[in-house]
Chain A
Amino acid sequence: MDMGIGLWCLQSTATNPRSFEQAYQELVDDARLAENNGIHSLWLSEHHAYYDGYCPALLPAASAALAATERLEVGTGVLLLPLHEPNRVANAVNLLDAQSQGRFQLGVGMGYRPIEFTIKDELISNRLQLMNSGLDALQTAVSAPTWVGVSSEKAARRAGRRGLGLFISGAFSRDVVNGLIAAHRTEWETSGSPGGTPPPIGLLRNLWIVDTESERRKALEWVRSSYLVYAGLGWGADKTGVDFVSQIEASMDEVERSATVGSAEEIAEDFEGYDVDLVVCRVGYDQPPRTALVEVIERIGQELSPLVQELGVQR
């Protein structure tokens, strides 16, 4: 099981305002730090037209992180494919793949905020159609590994049918995660096993390595407050099945319950039950001080990664 870190969103939030130039400089610094500590990959995340500058153009950002490193993989978790021209994405991905000697991973998703479709002159009601035609275009045009961000079994099955990897987002319980993985695998097998080898599974987890109960409480507060960003993003987003605003306390409780906060040994033990290739440790919150972020990146690489090497899918 590989350990990645995420999600780098390059924001300047109301909770932690900062300069964007600093945010992009820290992306490069963090990529080098992750590489020097043996971390497998760093993952970026995309939104558009949000007040805090949430990164709307992941591929130039990935390019800077890849150019500054030699071994680290850099991925998009996820690029919102219906909001881009697929042929332009393919050209950019192929350049990234060539320049980095295959260290770029393309994760794609559909998006859910109406404004993001409006500013691209698209209808959100067309998002599935746009996603499918985008994946059709990428399938033959792109050489980099492709993952699909999913939150439903239906979406997991669609990815399996195409032989694409799964990037499981959000704060799902173990049962839900395993249900998504099983749906994906079954569909892949019944579709004639496209690609020959089972497509990879990546799992995003809210996570922090701590030694004491007081550190644990603090880390959980960071995890809880990170949900505020999503509540803000969900403001005005309807038909997503998630009521971001009125259920904010309940949602924060759920995010806290699903977070993996403990010693490296406790976290490794928790990961034993997951049949995945990659865990993306979600540490890119906006609240922790820089020193705490640097420390947790070092500890994920030095303490957690060696403990989970033998876990998960063996291929």
Chain B
Amino acid sequence: MRLVLDLRKVSSHHDRRRLASEADQHGIWGTVVTGPPGSECVEAAAIAAVTSNLSIIVDVDGDAAHPTTLAEEVAVLDQISRRRTVLIFRGETTTKLSVVALLSGLSSQGVILSPPPAQTSVPVFDPEDIPEADLEGDLQNSAAIIDQYRDANTPFLIVSWDRPIKELARHLVGRAASPDFPQMVADLADEIDPIQ
């Protein structure tokens, strides 16, 4: 299971960029960003510019835009982010089908995206496809939550996190990846290299 850092409720754009940059450095798999309708890909592009490894899940209002306009923005974002774009689409199914087709390089009602996405196709999810967990409490509780989702065979988990990003990376990324995570190693790492 891969962890996705939730930046959607972080109000300061300085904080969003700093947290994304730290997540990028510490090997968090992805982040999820959004904004008022029309600004979602602008926010995501700013995050893409200050990161190089992080997958960038952009959570969009699919009913506010023409499907071609939305697909164009996401395709450009995928070029800017060098194939790191993932989409959460909130909106009508018919619009979603058009957007999915366009972001797979297929024609939709005679339109083909130019430029196309950089990836083979941009993954598109419904909001309910990716569960969310609040990990802003005790580390032990967070570990239990991670175990639960991982054992339920969840591919991605969006997490809210208010402590240092390195702590998330050290204690929970490996646990999310494997039921055999050696907690003792993370605890010893805290003694050798305390996280400020």
| A interface with B by C-beta (< 8 Å) | 10, 12, 20-21, 23-25, 28, 48-57, 59-68, 83-85, 87-92, 94-96, 98-99, 119-121
Q: Does the CB pair A88–B13 fall under 8 Å?
A: no
Q: Does the CB pair B66–A85 fall under 8 Å?
A: yes
Nearest chain-A residue to B69 (Cβ)?
A84
- Whole-angstrom distance between the Cβ of A19 and the nearest chain B Cβ: 8
- Whole-angstrom distance between the Cβ of B187 and the nearest chain A Cβ: 37
Q: Does the CB pair B37–A61 fall under 8 Å?
A: no
Question: How many chain-B residues does the 8 Å CB contact rule pick out?
Answer: 37
A85 contacts across to B, CB distance below 8 A: 38, 64-66, 69
User: Can you give 22 A-B contacts (C-beta < 8 A)?
Assistant: A20-B118, A21-B79, A28-B49, A49-B111, A50-B114, A51-B114, A56-B75, A57-B76, A60-B44, A60-B80, A63-B41, A63-B42, A64-B48, A67-B17, A83-B69, A92-B38, A92-B42, A96-B42, A98-B13, A99-B13, A99-B46, A119-B110
B115 contacts across to A, CB distance below 8 A: 10, 12, 20, 53, 55
- Whole-angstrom distance between the Cβ of B90 and the nearest chain A Cβ: 14
Q: How far is the CA of A60 from the CA of B36 in the complex (A)?
A: 14
Q: Does the CB pair B46–A67 fall under 8 Å?
A: yes
Q: Does the CB pair A53–B46 fall under 8 Å?
A: no
B68 at the interface (CB under 8 A from A): yes
- Whole-angstrom distance between the Cβ of B118 and the nearest chain A Cβ: 5
Given the contacts A63-B45, A63-B46, A88-B65, A53 and B73 also touching, CB distance less than 8 Å:
no
Q: How far is the CA of A20 from the CA of B75 in the complex (A)?
A: 11
A60 contacts across to B, CB distance below 8 A: 41-42, 44-45, 73, 76-77, 80
Given the contacts A67-B50, A120-B68, A89 and B38 also touching, CB distance less than 8 Å:
yes
Top 9 A-B residue pairs of the complex, sorted by shortest distance between their CB atoms: A88-B38, A53-B115, A67-B49, A63-B45, A60-B45, A91-B36, A57-B76, A56-B72, A67-B46
Partner pick for B39 among A51, A64, A67, A94, CB 8 A cutoff? A94
Q: How far is the CA of A55 from the CA of B79 in the complex (A)?
A: 11
A119 contacts across to B, CB distance below 8 A: 68, 110-111
B82 at the interface (CB under 8 A from A): yes
Partner pick for B38 among A28, A63, A87, A99, CB 8 A cutoff? A87
B174 at the interface (CB under 8 A from A): no
- Whole-angstrom distance between the Cβ of A215 and the nearest chain B Cβ: 32
Q: How far is the CA of A189 from the CA of B107 in the complex (A)?
A: 49
What 20 additional pairs, Cβ within 8 angstroms, besides A48-B72, A119-B110?
A10-B76, A10-B115, A24-B76, A24-B79, A49-B111, A54-B114, A56-B114, A57-B75, A57-B76, A57-B77, A60-B44, A61-B80, A62-B42, A67-B17, A67-B46, A87-B64, A88-B65, A89-B38, A119-B68, A120-B66
- Whole-angstrom distance between the Cβ of A237 and the nearest chain B Cβ: 16
Q: How far is the CA of A7 from the CA of B13 in the complex (A)?
A: 28
A53 contacts across to B, CB distance below 8 A: 114-116
Q: Does the CB pair A52–B114 fall under 8 Å?
A: yes
